[in-house]
Amino acid sequence: METIIELKGILKYYYVGNQVVKALRGIDLEIKRGEYVAIMGPSGSGKSTLMNILGALDTPTEGDYILNGTNVSVLTDEKLAEIRNKEIGFIFQTFNLLPRYTALENVTLPLIYGGVPKSDRQAQARKVLFNVGLDDRVKHKPNELSGGQRQRVAVARALVNNPSMILADEPTGNLDSKTSADIMRLISDIHEQGNTIIVVTHEQDIAEQAQRIIRLIDGMVESDEVKTAVHKV
């Protein structure tokens, strides 16, 4: 399989007063196109920092991050924004929907930033909302939707640009157990359609649904397990 992500010697340091906080201490990692990967670790392990780098929300102090052949770690803020919009679909624990916008309007946002004509973006947004089971909720605003429906809108928004990968940060953190299972089944379905999925989670049962589990400790990769069997919800 083609390598979509390559991390080489990734270091990330933060400066707090006179102290240096070493969040990542030399991460070497490859992820292939079409993989379903879970990144786990306790608080302070560096998983959130790694997620921010993978999502082009931050850049490493040292090292190279190659995404789809582009060295993301040397790009300007403007180019990073382009990469985020074109290459990465984000699913956040808190949904991050605009409260005054309908489901359809929220899903079309990445297409607006990408310069897609209005007629085309309406059609694309409606299609992905249909695919996540919300074709009857396109005109509803977030406060008119359940938590699960709001996360489905967020999933549709992540998919609408046909990104190179989906990056999900604790995607079920604000959901009850039944709704969580529904969302994870949806993410598995998206993976089975050929999408690259990276889920950052502290929940073992969520990680068990991935094909591969990467565990971090103290800013380093503690283990990298490719599973022979995947737990389905």
Residues 6+ away with beta carbon under 8 Å from 152 = 132, 133, 134, 183, 186
Amino acid 173: pLDDT = 84
* Residue 20 covered by a domain: no
Asked if residue 18 belongs to a domain, the reply is no
**Does a structural domain hold residue 210?**
yes
Pairing of strands 88-92, 165-169: parallel
- What is the distance between the alpha carbons of residues 66 and 64, in angstroms, rounded to a whole number? 6
Write out the residue range of the structural domain in which residue 212 sits: 36-59+73-226
**Mean pLDDT throughout 94-104?**
94
Residue 67 lies in a domain: no
Mean residue pLDDT of the chain comes to 92
Taking only Cα atoms into account, the Rg of the chain, rounded to an integer number of angstroms, comes to: 18
Environment class of 66 (CB within 10 Å of its CB; exposed 0-12, middle 13-18, buried 19+): middle
Q: Which of 212, 217, 230, 228 is nearest to 26 (CA)?
A: 217
Cβ 142 vs Cβ 97: under 8 Å:
yes
Which pLDDT band, with edges at 50, 70 and 90, does 32 fall under?
very high
Res 228 pLDDT > 80: no
Domain count, the chain: 1
Q: Of 5-19, 129-143, 168-182, where does mean pLDDT reach its minimum?
A: 168-182
- Residue 68: is it exposed, middle or buried by C-beta count within 10 angstroms (0-12/13-18/19+)? middle
pLDDT digit string (tens) for 72-91?
999 999 999 999 998 999 99
The domain that holds 108 is classified in CATH as 3.40.50.300
Q: Is residue 232 part of a domain?
A: no
Task: Return the pLDDT at 174.
Answer: 83
**Torsion from C-alpha of 21, 22, 23, 24, nearest 10 degrees:** 170
The pLDDT of residue 43 is 87
Residue 142 DSSP one-character state? G
Q: Quickly list H helices, 88-212.
A: 103-113, 118-131, 147-159, 177-192, 204-207
In a domain, 13, yes or no: no
Q: Residues 6 or more apart from 37 whose CB is under 8 A from it?
A: 31, 197, 198, 199, 210, 211, 212, 213, 214
pLDDT at 230: 65
Flag whether 195 is in a domain: yes
pLDDT value at residue 175: 87
- The contacts of residue 164 (CB under 8 Å, 6+ apart) are 4, 33, 67, 68, 87, 88, 196
Q: How far is CA 188 from the centre of its chain?
A: 14
